[in-house]
Structure 1
Amino acid sequence: MKKTALLLLALLTGIVNAQTNEKSLLWKISGNGLSKPSYLFGTIHITCDATLSDKVKKALDNTEQLCLELDMDDASMQGQMLNSMMMKDGVTMKSLVTEADFKIVDAFLTNNVGYSAEMLNPVKPFMITTMLYPKMLGCEMQSVEAELMKIAKTQNEETIGLETVAEQLAVFDAIPYQEQMNELVITAKDNMQRDKTELTQMMALYKTENVEEMVAFTEKSANVMTSKYSDILLKNRNQNWISRIDKIAKSKPTFFGVGAAHLGGEQGVIVLLRKAGFKVEAVN
């Protein structure tokens, strides 16, 4: 009897997980006490083409507010981010590398962001990496989140966040500064070639709408910031979001937009919402 129960549990778990194999960035959330459906959409934070599909626009029409990872309408957000950019305990980039490597990073940053490593010395290396994204992209940078916000604004709907700026940036205190700096040195030494290749591959993968492959891609990344610390960057945050999504969706029909890599996998938002009692279906 016990073996039968375990087998049944394994089969049911397999079914729950297998259902995420459908290729879609947009998912309908219903059941579990919701009076009207909400929607879950996988975004890409930077891209060359942030055009929204008709099905996404329709889902925005059918909801009453937009919820992103952060409340990007918050006027205080920029100030909060600036306050969280510095490394703690007096750590600097110069203290994390050899003199030779610091000179390489210094020349690279001066050339690509217009600020020397000396000027940016106390800033978290990951934050400096984000300054390089426009250069890595090779096109005019666009944002899916910005496009979602434009529509929400025209519909006179509020934009809210799943987590605070402090919560999101605390992630980069949890990832060792040494690891962050090691990756920045690699980026400087190969003049962003590795990062450009991975970003191009991710943008192409995003167009396939295969959320499972996106999770696998991040876990295999050559950049240890992405692959080694996926628990900190993705899984832990996914767990934290479920009760918040539950509360928000029950307050009013909501369009949730989070990074697409958060959706798939056994610890992804889709599976976790199903385990919490919601029906989550791909919209195609």
Structure 2
Amino acid sequence: MFNSKSIALTCLLFFTFLFNGFCQESKSLLWKISGNGITQPSYLFGTIHLICENDFIVSPAVETSVKNASQVYLEIDMDDPNLNAQMQQYMKMANGQKLQNVLKPDDYKVVSRFFKDSLGVNVDFFNDTKPMLLYSFVLIKMMNGCNIKSYEQAFVEMAKKQQKEVKGLETVAQQMSFIDQISAEKQGDDLVKAIKNYPVYRTYFTKLINVYKEQDIEGLQKLFSDPEFGTSENENETLIYNRNKTWIEQIKAIALKQPTFFAVGAGHLAGDSGVIKLLRNQGFKVEPVN
């Protein structure tokens, strides 16, 4: 049931929900990038990396945007045939750390029991896996056994049908390196907190899904301002803002060369350090597409 590709997707999902501080923007997940020397517009779409099939919607505007683009860029190249091998290489904790050493004994029992009773999985199989990735399995559990869809995989399939290349703004190694900047102990504490407070976290997760479906950026801002679930400013700097700054130079160079469909986690789009604002600061026109 769980493989390295599902871990890659759920890791992306986790990144989607690690942000706060939105500015007020229109209710849209699809944005057109133009101006500043661009001859043909590119498009920017905010994904939620995994979602129940019944909630999954690709609008005609999104389909048209992909069709009009020459290529598709995701956070990482989900069409890379070496993706599974790369995930296996980088999903482990550094320095040979083990989960039972990172967690307190009682907390390890809590995690072990949750994985066995709720997921039917022996947590010892993931004993050297980064705890943040294990949190991803808790998110899958919150989806209550629904048929799961991935926007990234959908865009890969669309690109293949249209014979367009799929590329990534960063490598698996780069993405995993951001996780490594947060101590394994802190990752483990967050995992235990989510499991111990599972009903509350599930309610919060459901609200996030609903607000995402409504494309309500202001609503997301309110949810992510909740100190009970939000991450620290330092963690946001590591996991969101620094990556956004790195992406901007790439997006700028790519969009100037050819029309491109960019799809990244919706958490990267808004706010003063979001991709939309950063692109506007570079002189580009970024406007919602409804």
TM category, shorter: 0.7 to 0.9
What amino acid maps onto 1:248 in structure 2?
Answer: I
Query: Do residues 233 (structure 1) and 233 (structure 2) align?
Result: no
Question: What's 1:70 paired with?
Answer: 76
Question: What's 1:128 paired with?
Answer: 134
- Unmatched segments (≥5 aa) in structure 2: 1-21
Change (3 A) 1:92 1:109: same
Moved more, 174-183 or 214-223: 214-223
SS of aligned partner of 1:29: strand
Shift of 1:63: 1.0
Structure 2 distance, partners of 1:46, 1:38, is: 24
What amino acid maps onto 2:72 in structure 1?
Answer: L
Structure 1 distance, partners of 2:38, 2:68, is: 14
Structure 2 distance, partners of 1:219, 1:85, is: 29
> Which of 147, 167, 183 is the aligned partner of 1:176?
183
Contact 2:23 2:270 (8 Å CA) reproduced: no
Question: What's 2:149 paired with?
Answer: 142
TM-score by length of 2: 0.85
Query: Do residues 211 (structure 1) and 217 (structure 2) align?
Result: yes
Question: What's 2:38 paired with?
Answer: 34
| Mapping for residues 195-210 of structure 1, pairs under 5 Å | 195-210=201-216
Structure 2 distance, partners of 1:166, 1:212, is: 33
> Which of 157, 164, 170 is the aligned partner of 2:171?
164
Kindly provide the CA deviation profile for residues 129-151 of structure 1, in whole angstroms up to 9, marking residues without a partner as x: 22333211122211111222222
Question: What's 2:104 paired with?
Answer: 98
- Unmatched segments (≥5 aa) in structure 1: 1-17
SS of aligned partner of 2:94: coil
> Which of 72, 76, 85 is the aligned partner of 1:79?
85
SS of aligned partner of 1:234: helix
Question: What's 1:259 paired with?
Answer: 265
Alpha carbon RMSD of aligned pairs, Å? 2.1
Question: What's 2:48 paired with?
Answer: 44
What amino acid maps onto 2:262 in structure 1?
Answer: F
Structure 1 distance, partners of 2:232, 2:51, is: 18
TM-score by length of 1: 0.87
Question: What's 2:122 paired with?
Answer: 116
Change (3 A) 1:240 1:123: same
Contact 2:224 2:230 (8 Å CA) reproduced: no
Moved more, 149-158 or 236-245: 149-158
Shift of 1:226: 7.3
Identity of aligned residues (%): 39
Question: What's 2:159 paired with?
Answer: 152
Contact 2:72 2:261 (8 Å CA) reproduced: yes
SS of aligned partner of 1:51: coil
Aligned length: 267
Structure 2 distance, partners of 1:85, 1:225, is: 21
Contact 2:70 2:259 (8 Å CA) reproduced: yes
Structure 1 distance, partners of 2:23, 2:227, is: 25
SS of aligned partner of 2:95: coil
Bigger-Rg structure (1/2) = 1
Structure 1 distance, partners of 2:86, 2:106, is: 33
Shift of 1:212: 4.3
Shift of 1:118: 3.0
Higher relative contact order (CA 8 A, sep 6+): 2
Shift of 1:166: 0.7
